[in-house]
Amino acid sequence: MFRIGHGFDVHAFDKDRPLILGGIEIDHHQGLIGHSDADVLLHTIADSILGALALGDIGKFFPDTDAANKDLDSKVLLREVVEKMTDMNYEVNNIDATVMAEQPKLRPHIDDMREVVASLLNVPINHVNIKATTTEKLGFTGREEGMAAEAVVLLKKMEELS
Ligand SMILES: Nc1ccn([C@@H]2O[C@H](COP(=O)(O)O)[C@@H](O)[C@H]2O)c(=O)n1
Ligand SMILES: C[C@@]1(CO)OP(=O)(O)OP(=O)(O)OC[C@H]1O
């Protein structure tokens, strides 16, 4: 049995922050702000998995009103979501994600991000696709005020052990 899920997230840029995306740090003159490390890509991936499981979203499990989630490493957050998925006897079949950003150029970092995501999701790297697109200088991403990310995931029920 399969379940499909979708995620979408946005974070604003701030000059005094490191840019953390897909679980890696990318050299850039500004980074994303949030209650956590603001990793917009890992957040959208976590949301897509919660969506597939009909469990709601990351704000439900990691509220931004909880001091324990302040500056949270989003790899920890995604690991916990993957644990919930495993407890429900599901595994990731494949995931496809898109990051919307005018700058920096993400292509040189895509395979490093895929490696981190594949390891967090316990799947081979060729089950993880990450794409980047500008928005042709339009909107908040085009003005380099922030980044947006979207993901679609397919989960499959794990084989029952006899
Ligand atoms: N932040 C980004 C945005 C895009 N890319 C790569 O450039 C290609 C062309 O982008 P368009 O927005 O003009 O379609 C895109 O397909 C990506 O491969 C990137 O590396 N980083
Ligand atoms: C991750 C959490 C919690 O630290 O904070 P943010 O980094 O603000 O991220 P967001 O995508 O707005 O929603 C989930 C939050 O509760």
Residue 95, Cβ neighbours under 10 Å: how many?
24
Q: What is the mean pLDDT of residues 106-130?
A: 98
Q: pLDDT at position 77, please? A: 98
Q: Which atom of ligand 1 is nearest to the CA of 134?
A: 12
Tell me the per-residue pLDDT of 39-96, one tens digit each, with 9 for 90 and over. Answer: 999 999 999 999 999 999 999 999 999 998 999 999 999 999 999 999 999 999 999 9
Give pTM, 2 decimals: 0.96
Query: Residues with beta carbon inside 6 Å of ligand 1?
Result: 101, 105-107, 132-134
Ligand 2 midpoint to CA 8 (Å): 12
Instruction: Tell me: is residue 36 an annotated ligand-binding position.
Output: yes
**Residue at token pair 């969506």:** 51
Q: pLDDT at position 97, please? A: 99
Tell me the per-residue pLDDT of 18-41, one tens digit each, with 9 for 90 and over. Answer: 999 999 999 999 999 999 999 999
- Mean of all residue pLDDT scores within the chain: 97
Tell which one of 100, 106, 130 to mutate to probe ligand 1, the residue whose CB is within 8 A of the most ligand atoms.
106
Q: Which atom of ligand 1 is nearest to the CA of 102?
A: 1
Q: Would the CA dihedral through 39, 79, 65, 51 be positive or negative? A: positive
Instruction: Tell me: is residue 58 an annotated ligand-binding position.
Output: yes
Task: Determine if the peptide bond prior to 63 is cis (ω within 30°).
Answer: no
Q: What ipTM describes this predicted complex?
A: 0.89
Q: Is the pLDDT of residue 161 over 80?
A: no
Residue 10's identity, in one-letter code, is: V
Going along the chain from its start, the domains and CATH numbers come out as: 2-156 (3.30.1330.50)
Nearest to 113 by CA among 19, 30, 48: 19
